[in-house]
């Protein structure tokens, strides 16, 4: 739930802890499934966490306001995508060469 607080000319948005809670439950669920399947893979875990961050960022974006936390979240997502692409390119080179 997003609460908008107006103080003077600045607008502050409080998101509560729901984003952190949803992401924590998602990560614990993924790790539990991987442990039960005895197929733990850091690459798959990182990809699914990145996917969750992208979905949370898209669902939590207000229409007319660009909060600071979303700008920071988009930068974290960008770094994650670059790291994932580097790993993907390295694994393709391993298969080819």
3-state secondary structure of 62: coil
Instruction: Give the residue, 9 or 28, on which the prediction is more confident.
Output: 28
Distance between CA 67 and CA 62 in Å, rounded? 8
Its sign, for the CA torsion 25, 54, 78, 1, is negative
The pLDDT score that the predictor gives to residue 70 is 75
Q: Residue 54's pLDDT is what?
A: 82
Instruction: State the total domains in the chain.
Output: 1
Reading phi first (left if > 0) and then psi (alpha if -120 to 50, else beta), residue 57 is in alpha
Helices (H), 8-67: 18-36, 42-59
Q: How much is the pLDDT for 3?
A: 54
pLDDT tens per residue across span 12-53: 555 556 777 878 888 888 889 988 988 888 888 888 888 888
Domain that holds residue 14: 3-96
Give every CB contact of residue 12 below 8 A, 6+ residues apart in sequence: 4, 5, 6
């Amino acid at each position: 739930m997003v609460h908008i607080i107006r103080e003077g000319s600045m607008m502050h948005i409080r998101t509560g802890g729901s984003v952190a809670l949803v992401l924590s439950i998602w990560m614990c669920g993924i790790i539990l499934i991987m442990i039960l399947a005895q197929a733990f893979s850091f690459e798959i875990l990182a990809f699914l966490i990145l996917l969750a961050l992208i979905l949370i960022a898209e669902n939590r974006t207000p229409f007319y306001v660009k909060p600071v936390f979303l700008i920071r979240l988009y930068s974290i997502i960008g770094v994650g995508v670059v790291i994932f692409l580097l790993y993907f390119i390295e694994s393709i080179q391993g298969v080819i060469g």
